[in-house]
Structure 1
Amino acid sequence: MRPRIPRGEGLTLAALLVWAAGLFLLPLALLAWVGLTAQGAPSLSPIVEVLGSASVRRAFWHSLESAGMSGLGALAVGTALALLIGLTDVRGKGAFVFLLLLPMMIPPQVTAIAWIQALGPGSPVLGWVGLAPAPGSDHPLYSGGGVMALLTLQHMPLVLLLILAALRALPRELTEAARIAGAGPGRVLRRVLLPLLAPSLVAAFALAFVSALGNFGIQAILGIPARYTTLPVLIWRRLSGFGPSVLGDVAAISFLLAIIAIAAISAQLMLQRRLRSQVTGPPAQSLRIRLGRLRPVAEAGLMLYVGATLLLPLASLVATALVPTYGVPLTRETLTWGNFAEILFRQEATIRAFANSTLTAGAAALALAMLAGLTAYFLSRRDVARRRAAGAIAVLGDVSYAIPGLVISIAFILAFIRPLPLVGVSLYNTLGIIFLAYLTAFFAIALKPVTAAYAQLDPALDDAARVAGAGFGRRLWRVFTPMVAPAAASGAILVFLTAYNEVTVSALLWSTGNETIGTQIFNYEDGGYTTLAAALSSVTVLATVVLMAVLDRVGRRLPPGVVPWRV
């Protein structure tokens, strides 16, 4: 018998596995090897050595403290908002969710800059109402508490999204039975809903914790002036100050950071298994509390929260971009568009950054849409072996998304600092390494919507196409692609929004000529060019809002849950 040569599905799945091994396993394996070996032999001495440094121990504690406290804050605020929006009859839910999710899509370095300008002595908005701090006074955000507060606001939308999705998945029968038994809304919430939401609450905290752990923009812009150094900032300072010669030391610190993230996810999964409750019945809106006379008060509270956490910092950001020098009050005489003209037409580095970010984020979004479509196809198959292989790729994507972006950067430097075999070309200090890092860091974002879309398709479609004689490529192109294309486009837009403004992944990978928007904003603020940083940040916020509006419009034709803020 001749050996069977894999074709179509087999070759495609093999190519996906090779891609996953090259971009997920190889860089992280090299990071683990460098971080856990001494003189070529496995050893814990590199970890022990870095933990012997007082600066590393201090940064380690600051990372745990800021991630833990901000995770709890995000859990409390996000859960309260999710319960208010998901369980009551407040009006304008879609608009409120859209506005509440905006901070998540705004780059963290922009969030930090906006809040610095909103609450500082030179705040244009507070200056208008006479509430600005006295000139020369300490900025309230330059502290550990300031870092935690902004991390809470940045990652609260993650909790909001997860709890809203969990509320939509609960069956109606449970709350109806409790109401028939005479339980009021408060008792139903305490005795029925919150216990059922316990696994989701644990997952929400873990997600906020891991996101805060690797959030470089806020930790750097607020933490460096406050001397509140965390592990990501320590990694950046050592590598940017000493270059590739400290890769071994930095790899050990990065491995330590990755271990914290993986431990948090593992603890989450263990707690979820213990807290999970089996429920039956179709998902539906579980409870609808009529607020009556309190509804205007609740809606006013939501508008006040949006105004305080979104409009105040953004208004301060734009006002700072419209004055010639930071600290000058915005009046008709001082208003200028010169900062926008400078960044859009005269600064070569900024113009390159726009082009580079558009190219790398756009290419990554398109590539991940195709890779996610292929992976989700195999995840939905009835063939156990192929489904497990695709499941392994999905797990690697989830792990890579959970690991802080700065750790991904160090792993890619280790993997690609030398020229590639056979071709002899090095990707280090090129846009290529940033593009590949984006594929690794954001694959999970692209995969989720496409997987959800495939789950709604009848497997008989594939069987019918096979009976009709269609091969793998024809089935994929003519049957499945048209059906999952909207979800794939949704995932691609989410990837583009995330990658276009990010700074965590590219902070250590960019070089002169290969700047990105995120690194350019950070460099402007770090160099003291506050008005230019504000102008560039304002442009990126506008681009983010426009792209989210496009996704919202496309989402009207997509299945529920594909576009996160559509409720």
Structure 2
Amino acid sequence: MRARLDGERLALAALIAAAAGIFLLPLSRLLWTGLSGGIGPLAEALESDATRRALWNSLESGLASALLALVLGTALAFAIGLTNLRAKGILVFLLLLPMMIPPHVTAISWIQALGPSSPVLGALGIAPEIGAAHPLYSREGVILLLTIQHTPLVFLVMLAALRGLPREVSEAARIAGARPGRLLRRILLPLLAPSLVAAFALAFVSALGNFGIPALLGIPGRYVTMPVLIWRRLAGFGPSVLTDVAVLAMILALIAVLSVALQTWLQRIVRAGLIGPPQPALAIGLGRARPLWEGALAIFVVATLALPLISLVATALVPTYGVPLTLATITWDNFAEVILRQDATARAFANSTLIAGAAALTLAALSALVAHFGARRERAGRATSGITMTLAEISYAIPGLVISIAFILVYIRPVLGTGLSLYNTLTLIFLAYLTAYFAVALKPVAAAAGQLDPALDDAARVAGARFARRLFRVHLPLMAPAAASGAILVFLTAYNEITVSALLWSRGNETIGTTIFNYEDGGYTTLAAAMSTITVLATVVLMTLLDQLGRRLPPGVVPWRL
């Protein structure tokens, strides 16, 4: 009996140590540094005009874009999930693709799509005049692109919520004579209210911490948000301003945590109890209007995905930004430059693949362990699992730039007693990824573990199986599809990100996101477009391979497959 308990105690101790290192250590250090000077630095920061403007801009752009994304994403989810539209699998793939494209790449592509040198608008004769202000360098431009970036996120949440509704409720309303509009207002929207709140909060928190879009659009448009202000302070003055930056980061983190708390409270108020298992949603016949709906969705995909990507590729194929794309001007030199002659590019792809892959695998394993203890009857394991889940949710709500500052504060000096320095290393970015994306990996695994019968573990225990054998032979095979789904989402998210690594990278430790941003920020627009094109192509190829592989895998492994 002692041998059996030792395995569980060892795993539980390892989980506690991991949670302390990933969550408690960096976040508590951030809080300590921000409050070390009392309330003076906090009051001084709030009295600063620059801080107040940046804070207001963050709240304004976050709330406005989240509301627009909620309306648009929910409408798309209803159109895909409740009607008899054709080619739903392709539509879902295309609608989710913008979410997998890095925000800074989204910004670069739209800058080139709508600017005076736009190859597409130029060909149509409707490009703005040379020298005219770019329409996206403004508050409205930031809000628009944040909406486009986070609409797929809302769409994914609401589509999953629709799949979780018992079909009998909708069918009973239709039998009673309710038309689609009345069914939507009186039945579906009230039942989906908790999911609507969750989707809005998720879009708001994501917009609040977004760095790439506000940096590339807001800085030229003099619309600075909190993440951009933090980045400029730290990049301009270096580690000597860590205390001031920690205060700003703490303010942003507090807003994110309050948003999550408000979301939880609202979900508790609007929650409606359901009876019955989840079933396939309705397939409302659109009749003769179906081609019109399909055409409208096609136009939406072209406008939000094809137009900016075509402009991005066209910019990558000209020798200098602003040169029209013709047969005489087309060139592959930009691709050759970033692939063959720029060492930073190859390092960036290798580094991002390594640390995103390592983070995905590590978080899949940790999530399985957390979910396993959460589904058990033992009080210590359930408590540890619950605390870890809560910390993961809080950390996911905190913007990535704040997470990176927390890790800088912890590891700017060598690790105590070892002389080992993690500052300016890939290891530090990897650790920050674990903190930032733990919740992404944990959600599907926790949901799968919650459906397992505890009697399975009891039966294996009675049969004499020790903890490791029960874990690897009983629980992990059942949770593997959900763990794989979470790992895929983590990898695709971390592979192209910039928000977390913007302050942690150094020469030799570049990531894909920071390399593209540095090209654009340094004025090498065509090189940024070329590398962005390669990144988008790699993302599309990877998602396509996973989609094809998903046909042979258990349901739920590939998150976007219907």
User: Normalised by the size of structure 1, how large is the TM-score?
Assistant: 0.96
Distance in 2 of aligned mates of 1:358 and 1:565? 21
Map Cα deviations across residues 536-558 of structure 1 (whole Å, 9 max, x no partner): 10111111112212322333345
Query: In structure 2, the residue corresponding to 1:85 is in which secondary structure?
Result: helix
Q: Which residue, 344, 353, 358 being the options, matches 1:349?
A: 344
2:368 corresponds to which of 339, 364, 373: 373
- Per the alignment, residue 320 of structure 1 pairs with 315
Deviations 1:122-141 (A, max 9, x none): 11112222222111111110
Q: Does 1:9 align with 2:8?
A: yes
Map of 1:32-43 to 2, 5 A cutoff? Answer: 32-38=31-37, 43=38
Runs of 4+ in 1 over 4 A off after TM superposition: 2-6, 557-562
Residues 179, 5 of structure 1: alpha-carbon distance in 2 compared, 3 angstrom cutoff? closer
Measured in 1, the distance between the counterparts of 2:112 and 2:278 equals: 44
- Structure 1 residues 523 and 297: alpha-carbon distance in aligned structure 2, compared to 1, 3 A threshold: same
Question: 2:63 maps to which residue?
Answer: 68
Q: For the residues of structure 1 that align with 2:352 and 2:172, how far apart are their CA atoms?
A: 53
Call closer, same or farther: CA 1:486–1:561 in 2, change over 3 Å: closer
Whole-angstrom CA distance in 1 between matches of 2:170 and 2:510: 53
Deviations 1:286-335 (A, max 9, x none): 43321101100000000100000001101111111111111111111111
Q: Match of 1:479?
A: 474
How far the C-alpha of 1:192 sits from its partner, in A, is 1.0
Counterpart AA for 2:150: H
Match of residue 113 from structure 1: 108
Correspondence 1:21-36 to 2 at 5 A: 21-36=20-35
> Does the CA-based 8 Å contact 1:449-1:562 persist in structure 2?
no
For the 8 Å contact 1:79–1:160, the answer to whether it is kept is yes
Aligned to 2:330: 335
Unmatched tracts of structure 1, length 5 or more: none
Flag the 1:481–1:329 CA change in 2: closer, same or farther, 3 A.
same
Task: Check conservation: 2:349, 2:512, Cα contact below 8 A.
Answer: yes
The code of the aligned residue for 1:52 comes to E
**Deviation for aligned residue 1:81:** 0.8
The count of residues paired between Structure 1 and Structure 2 equals: 562
Output the aligned Cα RMSD: 1.7
Q: Deviations over 1:427-451 (max 9, x none)?
A: 1111111111011111111122323
The residue aligned with 1:401 is: 396
How far is 1:4 from its partner? 9.6
CA contact (8 A) 1:161 1:564 kept: no
2:286 matched to 1:291?
yes
1:347-496 aligned at under 5 Å gives the runs 347-496=342-491
Q: Report the alpha carbon displacement of residue 473 of structure 1 after superposing the two structures with TM.
A: 1.3
Show the 5 A alignment for 1:264-283.
Answer: 264-283=259-278
Are the counterparts in 1 of residues 482 and 556 from structure 2 also a CA contact under 8 Å?
A: no
Q: What is the TM-score normalised by the length of structure 2?
A: 0.97
Deviation of 1:80 (Å): 0.9
Measure how far apart 1:501 and its partner are: 0.9
Distance across 2 between alignment mates of 1:227 and 1:48: 24
Q: 2:444 touches 2:486 (CA, 8 Å); kept in 1?
A: yes
Alpha-carbon distance, 1:496 to partner = 1.3
Amino acid of the structure 2 residue aligned with 1:383 = E
Counterpart CA distance in 1 for 2:225 and 2:387 is 32
Kindly indicate whether residue 149 of structure 2 is the aligned counterpart of residue 150 of structure 1.
Answer: no
Question: How far has the Cα of 1:384 moved from its partner?
Answer: 3.4
Shift of 1:382: 2.6
- 8 Å CA contact 1:112–1:222 kept in 2: the answer is yes
Kindly indicate whether the alpha-carbon contact (under 8 Å) linking 2:481 and 2:556 is maintained by their aligned counterparts in 1: no
Deviation at 1:37, TM superposition (A): 2.7
Is the alpha carbon distance of 1:313 and 1:359 closer, same or farther for their aligned partners in structure 2, counting shifts above 3 Å?
same
1:353 touches 1:520 (CA, 8 Å); kept in 2? yes
Residue type of the partner of 1:62? Answer: N
Unaligned runs of 5+ in 2: none
Instruction: Give the one of 181, 186, 192 matched to 1:186.
Output: 181
Structure 2 CA distance for aligned equivalents of residues 558 and 386 of structure 1: 31
* Helix, strand or coil at the partner of 1:133: coil
Q: Which residue of the partner structure matches residue 208 of structure 1?
A: 203
Letter in 2 for 1:17: I
Contact 2:347 2:510 in 1 (8 A): yes
Q: What is the letter of the counterpart of residue 65 of structure 2?
A: S
Following superposition, the deviation at residue 6 of structure 1 comes to: 5.0
Give the match's secondary structure for 1:554. helix
Structure 1 stretch displaced more, 85-94 or 250-259 = 85-94
Deviations 1:458-482 (A, max 9, x none): 4333233223322111222233333
Distance in 2, Cα, partners of 1:285 & 1:85? 12
Q: Structure 2 CA distance, aligned partners of 1:440 and 1:555?
A: 28
1:139 aligns with 134
Residue type of the alignment partner of 1:285:
P
Q: Which piece of structure 1 moves more, 84-93 or 224-233? A: 84-93
CA–CA separation in structure 1 for the residues paired with 2:190 and 2:353: 45
Counterpart code for 1:326 = Y
Q: Deviations over 1:260-299 (max 9, x none)?
A: 1111111111111111111211222343321101100000
Give the fraction of aligned pairs with identical amino acids, expressed as a percent: 69
Instruction: Indicate if the aligned counterparts of 1:452 and 1:562 stay in contact, CA closer than 8 A.
Output: no
Residue 442 of structure 1: SS of its match in structure 2? Answer: helix
> 1-side partners of 2:553 and 2:451: how far apart?
12
Quickly say closer, same or farther: Cα 1:456–1:277, change in 2 above 3 A: closer
Structure 1 residues 416, 5: closer, same or farther in 2, change over 3 A? farther
Q: CA deviation at 1:246?
A: 0.3
- Cα deviation, residue 163, structure 1: 0.9
8 A contact 1:490–1:551 mirrored in 2: no
Aligned to 1:164: 159
User: Would the aligned equivalents of 2:395 and 2:435 in 1 still touch at CA under 8 Å?
Assistant: yes
Determine if the alignment matches structure 1 residue 102 to structure 2 residue 97: yes
Q: Which residue in the other structure is 1:176 paired with?
A: 171
